[in-house]
Structure 1
């Protein structure tokens, strides 16, 4: 399928760069907005470390108009003053992007962007036809606060199961080799193209400390959902790999139960239940990433797309 390409910016409330892939035969399907996780940029959806086309191309090939942003303060969106950078600001800029798109969207979020997706349903639910959450971080509503093991003026050490990790309190966090291997790739992952780890590592970006510490729910700072109205009847798919160290079945299952408690129509796909084993955290980059994308597209076709626009 022939696909057009263009770039764009949201300028307020914070600069946000995005790329858009539009099938020439664009129809009535919602736009797909693919939001990256921490230490990454939208590039994680464009291609894999070993040179295969990424999810943006997979979904565009299924006829979706695909929008891929970088968070404010990340990648080509440019820098944001540290004192102003927060998950709230990221969500406000993503909300402005949804308004600029001007059509109903399927919002896909990964990892640290999970709470961003939940907040956007709360604030922009009239523009979201379905939510796909890939190994999502939990919202502050259900995420426990971490134990502070040690703290100085510049660093803080947190007990973040299954490990202890030391983070900067200002500036940015640079992914350590342990973080790359255990958190992002997953030591038990058999699906990641390990011959291309150097390429993957080279593409990682500094993660601003305010966003990182908010993700850890330090002192209760994680984003919370206060109003559940827009979750009623919303199709939501959660997808988790069996070798994702920090997303065991029960953890993402608890997020699914919380969403169902808000009235959402939730399906939780722990991939091992379908006989798909060995997937870690970076599902979009693994050797069966295209198959996972096509299964998400199949869920949308069967579950979300037939829902009349404006049902809420």
Structure 2
């Protein structure tokens, strides 16, 4: 484990000289542990990338997991991006940045603000940026909590402190309609889940228009948007719209929707499902072609 400002991260090294550095950033209610191993105990994406010659850094967001020294009410998307940006700046050469779900807008912001430090962006079922995400419908509002209808799911959000993931959230949002989640691994997966700072989750849902927006046009950096065809919260058109938006800003975008015979059935947890090794190889193959 290493430390960069308010950010803790694991570092995995290849057997020989690194072919490059990959930074793997988790999504909401997860920590970097989701890349270290799968819920059924197999090696995860981090060791897979290290085996293919990458030096791999796996951070936890500020206020989350091993980086929980920041109090929840102080955690914002700007704070997370600042911490990740420092980590990128500390590397000797541009890195591959991989973001998942709620970290999607962090990756898009960093693509604009830290392009000199990025060789490619991989966005796994990314949340959309505030530039194109509509505000949710407020169903109920009290001084302590907010109930909203998002684009695809309904949420009850505390206004302060932490939002704790429920079993219904794990089954409906995280696993959803996937046919690839490892059989018998739900209890192990549920134990991995961690709370999300309430304000950060409200940002993700774009409450009051607070979701992160980009800081301007992005250069022609290669970007891959990867979506499972059984992801309940990410139908094809949702991530296709994000990919088009990225392309309009100048990125060299590929949107891969996993509906071919070899990959169908994947849900939201692409790094955790029973074909996670194949998907890691798919991403590595795309990176080799992109460079």
SS of the equivalent of 1:210 reads helix
State the shift of 1:23 in Å: 1.0
Does the CA-based 8 Å contact 2:49-2:56 persist in structure 1? yes
Task: Give the alignment's Cα RMSD to 1 decimal.
Answer: 1.1
Please give the residue correspondences for 1:131-150 in structure 2 after superposition, counting only pairs within 5 Å: 131-150=121-140
Q: TM-score, normalised by structure 2?
A: 0.97
Structure 1: distance between partners of 2:68 and 2:150: 30
Structure 2: distance between partners of 1:105 and 1:163: 34
Structure 2: distance between partners of 1:295 and 1:92: 30
**Residue in 1 aligned with 2:147?**
157
Does the CA-based 8 Å contact 2:14-2:51 persist in structure 1? yes
Establish whether residue 281 from structure 1 lines up as the match of residue 265 from structure 2. no
Deviation track 1:203-253 (CA, whole Å, cap 9, x = no partner) reads 10011101100000001000001311xx22110001000110010000000
State the shift of 1:177 in Å: 1.5
Establish whether residue 96 from structure 1 lines up as the match of residue 86 from structure 2. yes
Establish whether residue 246 from structure 1 lines up as the match of residue 233 from structure 2. yes
Does the CA-based 8 Å contact 1:86-1:210 persist in structure 2? yes
- Can you give the 5+ residue segments of structure 1 that lack an aligned partner in the other structure? 1-6, 306-312
- Can you give the 5+ residue segments of structure 2 that lack an aligned partner in the other structure? none
Deviation track 1:170-193 (CA, whole Å, cap 9, x = no partner) reads 11111112111110011x211001
Residue 110 (structure 1) aligned to one of 93, 100, 106: 100
State the shift of 1:274 in Å: 5.8
Establish whether residue 237 from structure 1 lines up as the match of residue 259 from structure 2. no
Runs (4+) off by over 4 Å? none
Q: TM-score, normalised by structure 1?
A: 0.91
Does the CA-based 8 Å contact 2:26-2:34 persist in structure 1? yes
**Residue in 2 aligned with 1:262?**
249
Does the CA-based 8 Å contact 1:30-1:129 persist in structure 2? no
Residue 184 (structure 1) aligned to one of 142, 161, 174: 174
State the shift of 1:79 in Å: 2.8
Does the CA-based 8 Å contact 1:256-1:267 persist in structure 2? yes
